[in-house]
């Protein structure tokens, strides 16, 4: 009997197997590069969204969109720092890459950068835990605005080290990497 997914269609065993094989064939550094691409897209749009309308509801929509982009970046940066076997993160990717002999270029400096990244993301994680994920009963005055750009820059550097080359992040004709690093 075939399983019925939440959207109401059936996935056969062969299709499910092919999906798993395809997913398993993607290297850990490629998974992380896709995650950083998502971060850079959100960051690009975040930098450019400003309320400009004379209509109050339109300005509120824009501010809400900006907040969603900010929260998306916060959540994704935190995920990259967590050493959780259920999701791709820098610590998990490093463990997986070290098992593969083809990635012998991964050296001790990457360990140092990952530890630095985890420390850099700690205040961002506190922000996520208090305001985004758990809605703390505290008034929020204890939260400092999270500094996203240094963490994004270090994430790009770590992804490059894990891939063994500078990863290109593009959206149409926009170089998202250059935009974030400028």
**pLDDT tens column, 7-16:** 556 778 887 7
Q: Is the Cα torsion angle 68, 169, 104, 112 positive or negative in sign?
A: negative
CB 181 within 8 A of CB 153: yes
Give the pLDDT score at 18.
Answer: 75
Q: With respect to residue 160, please indicate whether it lies within any of the assigned structural domains.
A: yes
Residue 20 counted as domain residue = no
- What is the spatial distance between Cα 31 and Cα 22, in angstroms, rounded to a whole number? 12
- Is 1 within a domain? no
Would you place residue 31 in the very low, low, confident or very high pLDDT band (cuts 50, 70, 90)? Answer: confident
The residues pairing with 10 across neighbouring beta strands, listed in sequence order, are 4
Question: Above 50 in pLDDT, residue 22?
Answer: yes
pLDDT recorded at residue 61? 87
Tokens of 13: 């065993």
Q: How confident is the model at residue 28 (pLDDT cuts 50, 70, 90)?
A: confident
pLDDT the model gives residue 120: 93
Greater confidence (7 vs 25) lies with: 25
Domain membership of residue 46 (yes or no) is: yes
Is the pLDDT reported for residue 34 higher than 70? yes
Say how many domains are in the chain. Answer: 1
pLDDT over 90 at 74, yes or no: yes
Residue 15 lies in a domain: no
Range of the domain at 123: 28-181
What gap in Å lies between CA 42 and CA 49, rounded to an integer? 11
Distance, CA of 78 to CA of 6 (rounded, Å)? 28
Q: What tokens does 71 get? A: 């929260």
Please give the model's pTM, rounded to 2 decimal places: 0.79
Residue 167 is given by DSSP the state: P
**Does residue 136 lie in a domain region?**
yes
Predicted local distance difference test score (pLDDT) of residue 24? 67
pLDDT at 19: 72
pLDDT-derived band of residue 119, with 50, 70 and 90 as boundaries?
A: very high
Q: Is residue 16 part of a domain?
A: no
Query: Which residue, among 39, 3, 21, 41, has the nearest Cα to 174 in the 3D structure?
Result: 41
Q: Which residue has the higher pLDDT, 138 or 146?
A: 146
Find all residues with CB under 8 Å of 149, minimum gap 6, and list them: 43, 180
Concatenating the DSSP letter of every residue in 61-108 gives HHHHHHHHHHHHHHHHHHHHH---TTS--HHHHHHHHHHSGGGTT--H
Average pLDDT of the residues in 104-126: 85
Using the predicted structure, report yes or no on whether residue 1 has a pLDDT greater than 70. Answer: no
Q: With 60 as the cut, is the pLDDT of residue 92 above it?
A: yes
**Cβ contact 89:83 at 8 Å:** yes
């Amino acid at each position: 009997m075939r399983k019925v997914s939440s959207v109401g269609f059936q996935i056969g065993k062969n299709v499910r197997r092919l999906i798993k094989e395809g997913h398993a064939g993607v290297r850990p550094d490629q998974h992380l590069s896709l995650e950083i691409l998502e971060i850079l897209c959100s960051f690009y749009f975040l930098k450019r969204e400003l309320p400009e309308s004379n209509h109050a509801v339109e300005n509120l929509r824009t501010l809400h969109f900006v907040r969603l982009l900010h929260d998306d970046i916060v959540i994704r940066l935190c995920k990259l720092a967590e050493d959780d076997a259920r999701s791709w993160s820098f610590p998990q990717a490093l463990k997986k890459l070290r098992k593969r002999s083809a990635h012998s270029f991964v050296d001790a400096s990457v360990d140092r950068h990952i530890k630095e990244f985890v420390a850099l993301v700690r205040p961002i994680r506190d922000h996520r835990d208090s305001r985004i994920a758990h809605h703390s009963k505290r008034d929020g005055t204890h939260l400092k605005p999270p500094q996203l750009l240094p963490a994004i820059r270090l994430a790009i550097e770590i992804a490059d080290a894990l891939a063994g080359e500078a990863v290109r992040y593009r959206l149409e004709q926009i170089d998202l990497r250059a935009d974030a690093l400028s």
